[in-house]
C-alpha cells in the first residue's frame, strides 16, 4: 500500500493543489496523467458528483505515482468511503470533530476548511494546524490571512475558493500560506474535449509559481 502523506506534506509538494470535479470516469486516469506530466501529483477529486469515488479508485489503481485525495468530505461516512476508494488525504469545506476523528482513525491526512478564528481554534484543539482557508477570496483573501498571522502564527493555510493564476502569487507570498487550491487547472471545457496537453501546460504554469521560502 502506498504511504499516506501528512497534511503539511500535501500542502508543500507544489504551489497549487488542483480542485477537480469529474463528471466522467473515463476522464479520471488521463487527467491524472496530464497533471503529473505538468509536475503536480497531489490531486484533490471532490465528492461532488456520483462518479467521484469511482474516479478516485481508478486513479489510485492506475496512476500510483499520483497522490490522490478526496475533497468535499463532510462526514465520517465520506471519509470512510474515500479511504476505501484509495484516497490518501481528505479535504473538507468546514471542520467538525467527527470528521477530524474519522480521518485520524483512518490514518489519512485531513486539510480542514476554516473561515473564522473560532473554526481555526476548534481545529487546533484537535491537533490540526495545516488548514484550508475556504472560501478564501470571498471570506477576506489576503487581508484576512495577514490578520490571522499574528494570533495564529503557528498555522499554515491553503487558500481555496476564488483563487486564480492571476491572484495566486500574492497569496503565495504570504508567510502563512503553504500552497493554494484552484479549480482553474482543470477547466470543464478542456476535460470535455479531452485536451490533456492544455491541462499539462496549465499544471506546469502552476508549478512555476513562486512561494515564499
Active-site residue set:
44, 132
The C-alpha cell that represents 120 in the structure block: 481555526
Give yes or no for a contact between 145 and 133, defined as CB atoms under 8 angstroms apart.
yes
- Give strand pairing partners of 110: 90
Q: Which cell numbers in the block locate residue 13? A: 509538494
Look up residue 101 and give its three cell numbers: 476523528
What CA–CA distance (Å, rounded) separates 213 from 38? 22
Residue 52 three-state SS:
helix
Amino acid at each position: 500500500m502506498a504511504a499516506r502523506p501528512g497534511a503539511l506534506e500535501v500542502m508543500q509538494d507544489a504551489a497549487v493543489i488542483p480542485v477537480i470535479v469529474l463528471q466522467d470516469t473515463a476522464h479520471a486516469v488521463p487527467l491524472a496523467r496530464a497533471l503529473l506530466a505538468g509536475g503536480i501529483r497531489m490531486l484533490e477529486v471532490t465528492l461532488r458528483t456520483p462518479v467521484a469515488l469511482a474516479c478516485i479508485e481508478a486513479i489510485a489503481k492506475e496512476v500510483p505515482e499520483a497522490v490522490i485525495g478526496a475533497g468535499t468530505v463532510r462526514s465520517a461516512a465520506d471519509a470512510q468511503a474515500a479511504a476505501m476508494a484509495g484516497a490518501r488525504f481528505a479535504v473538507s469545506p468546514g471542520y467538525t470533530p467527527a470528521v477530524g476523528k474519522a480521518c485520524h482513525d483512518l490514518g489519512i491526512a485531513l486539510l480542514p476548511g476554516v473561515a473564522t478564528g473560532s473554526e481555526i481554534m476548534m481545529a487546533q484543539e484537535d491537533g490540526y494546524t495545516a488548514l484550508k482557508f475556504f472560501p478564501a477570496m470571498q471570506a477576506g483573501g489576503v487581508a484576512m490571512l495577514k490578520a490571522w498571522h499574528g494570533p495564529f502564527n503557528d498555522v499554515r493555510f491553503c487558500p481555496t475558493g476564488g483563487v486564480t493564476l492571476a491572484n495566486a502569487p500574492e497569496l503565495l507570498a504570504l508567510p502563512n500560506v503553504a500552497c493554494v487550491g484552484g479549480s482553474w487547472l482543470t477547466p470543464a471545457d478542456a476535460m470535455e474535449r479531452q485536451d490533456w496537453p492544455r491541462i499539462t501546460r496549465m499544471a506546469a504554469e502552476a508549478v512555476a509559481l513562486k512561494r515564499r521560502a
